[in-house]
Structure 1
Amino acid sequence: MRGKIGASLIVLHHLKYLDLSGNNLGGVGVPLPRFLGSLKSLIYLNLSSTNFDGTVTPQLGNLSRLQYLDINSCWNDNANDMQSKDISWLQRLPLLRALSLRECRLAFTYAPIVHSNLTSLEMVDLSDNGLDTLNPTKWFWHPSTIRHLDLTNNNIVGLLPDAVGNMTSLEVLRLGGNQLSDVKVSPLKNLCNLRELAFGGIPNWINRWTNLSVLQLSSNRLVGSIPQEIGMLSKLRILYLDDNQFNGYISEEHLANLANLEELDLSYNSLTAYFPRCKMGPHFPLWLKGQRDVIFLDISDAGIVDDLPDWFWTVFSNIQYMNISCNKISGRLPRTLDLTGILPQLPRHLAELDISKNSLSGPLPQKFGGPFLTDLLLSENHISGTIPSYICQLQLLSVLDLAKNHLMSSLILHNNNLSGEFPLFLLSCPQLILLDLAHNIYVGLRNNVFSGSIPVELKDLGYLQFLDLAHNRISGSIPDSLATLKAMTQDQAGEIPNEITSLVGLMSLNISHNQLSGEIPEKIGQLQSLESLDLSWNKLSGQIPSSLSGMTMLSKLNLSYNNLSGRIPSGNQLQTLIDPASSYIGNNYLCGPPVSRNCSGPEMAMARGHQDEHQPDSDVSYLYLGMAVGFVFALWVFFVTFLFVRTWRAAYFQMFDKLQCRLETSVAANFRRFPGKLYGK
């Protein structure tokens, strides 16, 4: 509302409440109307922010029934200020209970105050007046009745008068924004009813103010450490210690019992905060939202059972060490932690991050930020999905703990400088599906220097579906224990097979560049889910199983550089391979399409002869072995029968005797004829 106050108001003889605050009723050179002193029935008068100019009219002293008076001259543009060079008229207001003289230039007041009549005064606001001293004979009235005293933003220096200690009813005392670096605080030790304090010093006996809910010590010159006794103010909701010269530590001893604390500001000091195992929960402490420039944060085991707030990563954008582990913090990590938009990234200078043992869920962000991370501990959460390859770009990362989550279905750690033995920690990842540790210095897996046989411990990775051991020095045969990889079998509830051909869920098999020998299993065609098969650069021999032609999903086949022989199977899926001839190169004894060798030509006959020179005739060996076994078996049956069957034994000897008798008779008869033939008789 704009304009001037009409003098017609004086006819309102019974008017008790008059509130004109917040209206533009004055202007430059427009003083406070004197006729207001004629409204003698008023008990409430609010003229704050009305833009009047000049001095406060002493006619207000005529309002003897007045209980509330506010002549705060604050206005939006601060162009006009009221002033009170003489406030002796206040002594004529014996019923006054609340008085606000904010921004009334009381520093220029010269008239003394007779305060014996102000026996009901409870609230006094003298803030923003440029006062330089606190003279109790000039400014304080009957201290036993005052409950609210505001002296904020003056130029007060020196000692706090002892008279303040006599204000035993005082509940609110505001002394912030002054120069009270050497203030004497002992007068305050008797203010047991104090609820709100905005002051220039922290005494050790502050714990006496058990009802204190707001403590504001901002913008002073306070030095030294913060006493631990502040932690005994259990009703404290707001604590502002910012913009001072405090140093030392503030720890859980300071804040452990502040269960009702909502706002805490420690900024612009030289404090070091340390809060591990301080029970600040169950809700996430909101006072952290007001912190700035924090580089070390440890609120581990703090009993927090709450969602990670959206503002968290923004507030701690300059953090270097963060530990919020051993809580029950839930929620999701941001989809991106990249500082290219509204969503924040991990602070750039962060070196150590521990948020283990919480309840964080969702996938890991594709980009973490934090290029200087050395320790990343995310264990014992509910994080799911895959591990982003961006982790491999954290060149300083030396400690990574992702245990006991719901991810690890894929682990991509290729192209690093990881070294040492085969990582046995993988045995604790039973849900691993894809494992890629290629191009490292590990003694194991693709493009490394792994030698010996395939580790039997791989059988414990029950969910493994992709296994790449190519480009190593693995020798020997494929262990039967790989058949226990249930994720590669169709029937996980059935009996565990003993051959690799039972892994009918296998999609890709690459065991190239090793020293595997023997023949390709004949039943390999049972791997109907197989899309890629690479057995190249080994020492496999024998013929290519014809069952390969029945693998309907097969799109990539590489059998090159082995010792395979015979006719190459044809038909069905093998005819659809791209550049099929390259799949068989390096096998001198293979013939038929798609290679150029004719299976009936002289070249293959010489090749078969060459093979015979270096390979034993297994068919002949089996024939001789069968004859020997048959002979021994028949002889054994014969003797066993004669040993246990008496009639057969008697008949055999009787037949043998008759045969002997006939043989002797025949020999004797022929012998008698022989002389007659000899002499021609």
Structure 2
Amino acid sequence: MARRRQLIQATVILLATWFLVNSSALAVPAPTSAPAPSPPPPATGTLCIPHERDALLAFKAGLTDPGNYLSSWRGEDDCCQWTGIECSNRTGHVIKLQIKSNSATDDQTISGPLGGNISSSLLNLRHMKHLDLSWNNFGGKPIPEFIGGLKSLTHLLLSNSHFGGRIPPHLGNLSNLISLDLSTQWESCYSPDLAWVSNLRNLGYLAMNDVDLSAAIDWAHAVNMLRSLTTLELETCGLQNIMPPPLHPNLTSLRALYLGYNSFNSSFGAKYLLWDLPSVQTFSMPSCGIRGPIPAAAGNLTSVQSLFLQVNNFSGVVPSTFKKLKQLQVLYLLNNFISGNLEDLLNILPANELQALYLDNNNLTGSIPAQIDQFSSLSKLQLSNNKISGEIPVGIRELKKLTELWLDSNNLNGTLTQDHFTNLTSLQVLWLSGNSIKMLVNNTWNTPFQLISAGFRSCILGPQFPAWIMQATLNTLDISNTSIHDSIPFQFWITMYTVQVLDLSENKIVGRLPTYFLFGDMQGVILDISSNQLVGPIPTLPPNLAYLDLSGNNLSGVLPSDIGAPALAILMLFNNSFSGTIPCSLFELQQLKFLDLSDNQLNGTLPNCPGAPRTSNLTMLNLNTNNLSGEFPSFLQRCKELNFLDLAYNNFSGSIPTWISSKLPDLAFLRLRSNMFSGGIPEDLTRMKGLQYLDIASNNISGKIPISLGNLIAMAHTPDEQGALYKIVTFGLMSLYRWTNAYDDSLSVVTKGQQLEYTTGIAYMVNIDLSCNSLTGQIPEEIGTLAALKSLNLSWNHFSGIIPQTIGELQAVESFDLSHNELSGEIPTGLADLTSLAHLNLSYNNLTGAIPSGNQLRALGDQASIYIGNPGLCGPPVSRNCSGTKVTPRSPEDQHEGMSDALSLYLGITAGFVAGLWIVFCGFLFKRKWRIRCFLLSDRMYDWVYVQVKLSWASLTRKNQ
């Protein structure tokens, strides 16, 4: 025991000695020439690293910051606390710089946008992993090349920041990148190739939407190198076809592919797309112009849940390989040329999985099968605008999750009862318009659903007003042309308080409009009750009304002095019985663009309206067929956006103003027909470069046609979809109301020798009508430059001289009328080359020589009337032979004398016929014997005809036997 105690004591002494020695060594100070590195800063409570703070301040100095949103970036402050900066809790280094503006939706954004220059001082942030400058405005400057030197970056987000020019391939040096977003919306960014992308082997997310990659023919092969890629977004990049596709796709991790709005529009487009992607869950390729059938290879997308192939040119039937898409939940095939039987298509789709099916605007046929009830998960079904026929099966009620049902514009028929809707408690959208369906339901039916949007146009809901449709949840309701012959219940207007679009047109709705009605807080309310049988005056309109069409009713009275509706943009009141003057309140509506008061009984002069806005938004004004008077409306000088002006069939007088082109520079349609305008055609009129329809016929216009008529350049080119008149007539209102044609008021146009009704077709008319005036002089040769003219009418004037040879250059002209003038000389041979010509009238002039020959001229109807009143003409179709003696041209006096003789002859024949008729009539009236003999003669004639017919019939019968 004593020995063990001694050993322990010795051990303790040795340990104590060792500790003392080592403690002395640790106390020796380190050499000053080699200072130890600073310990890492603790997690909190310390300033950021100074040189990184200086780099951030230099970066800020290069920026423009109009909103002072980087105000926290100051001097010696801790940069880790600055806006948009994140530092490492362990090292204190800046690892994230995020200063995207509030144009984005992220909660971490600042309220930008910022601009200016991006300083290369960012290279001092060597530990930065996340750089987000998206949704700013760098004014089209290129992305700095030095960003490719930030080797630690894992996330680079520069989208929608107005970068322009070439995307630097130096970004391919960022080998640690996981996420790269270079998408743009405004500036023109481009990359001639994507070889640099293939170096980013860790990339999981790549977005370059709207970047011009039209020259990057290697894009598919470059992307195929990114084995880690899970999301690829290359929409609207001008991508071309993949020819050939990668032989061994490496995109085994890809989950989402967005290639929409590109140019895969060759006949090989569908074949060479990336179909062999079994891991993809979202496959989006809309609006790529892909032609041909959907390849069977699409069945390789075995994991796909959402498939977007809408707005292409796919044709034929959907391949049977779609049976392999067992997980498909959303299928968009709308706006293609898909054909085949609907039932066959439904049979290859996963009934239990499918949640949304969009097949509208195709060529599908057949009927809705009874087994539609198997699609128990379906919430959205769109079959609009196909050729589907038959009845809607009762099994539709088993789609208990259905929220949207679109069956409009098909050939469906039959009856819908309450049983069809028993279980559809979630239904919010129901469109059956454009079918022959009858709703056979109780008028007091308490529906199991509450609709937000519904359309029944051309179905049968009437004759009683359908009370069941009065649902307070409705935002859009179309019950036009539904055979309603009833008045509108007052309760309907209360229920429709929240509606934004309401169409009751083309029914036989009677009664009056309510004295006052309101729509809720919705802005831009659209109300169409046109083509009904409403009577009475217009009430005060709701303040949020934007579109009102009451045309084609029996409304009467004066227009209210305060119509209300300050937001009204479109007002259609044509074809009613309104009287009195037009109040200033209409022209004081600052948002008014379309005003049609035609075909009423309005009178008086148009007001000058001093309270009207200095600049009007009025685009279309139609006042034709009223009793309006006064001079050309001076208030139109404020309407600089006016495209369409129709003052025809009124009593306006005075001259056409010389300010018309300077004050109405965008005018495309001008019709002043059948008024009392006088004076000459102002040369100013010919400076209207957008004018394509000019009709000043049946006035008292005199003087000569300005030779500057050739300046009407809109008449020199065929109208297209960019023309002002096309936009008004076809699309003018559709931004407000997509279910109606913008402008369906018909216009009576005198062309082809008759009065024709035009609606939207007027957008393509290029017309000049100067007929029935007192114009003189020669027809200017410059008229030949108006190559797009479809109708030219100069008849019933006093034009003289020859028909210009340039008429032969009017290759688009369909109607050409020079009748009843004083023209002389020969008919231009070029007239025979007008291949579009359908109507020609050269009658009653002083033309001479041979009539040109040609297939088009020979095909014209009523040949003789075309040239009548020109005795100097020879050759077919007139009887005078051109080899005969040359006829001296008639003087104007002889021509008028001949016309007077013809008129006297016709009057004499008419008077003789009437006198003879009265003599015979009086004889029968007073001579009984004459009546008896006449009746006996009639009876004998009848008996003789009867006997002859019977004998002939008997003879024919015997021969046939």
Q: What TM-score, normalized by structure 1, do the two folds share?
A: 0.44
Larger relative contact order (CA 8 Å, sep ≥ 6): 1
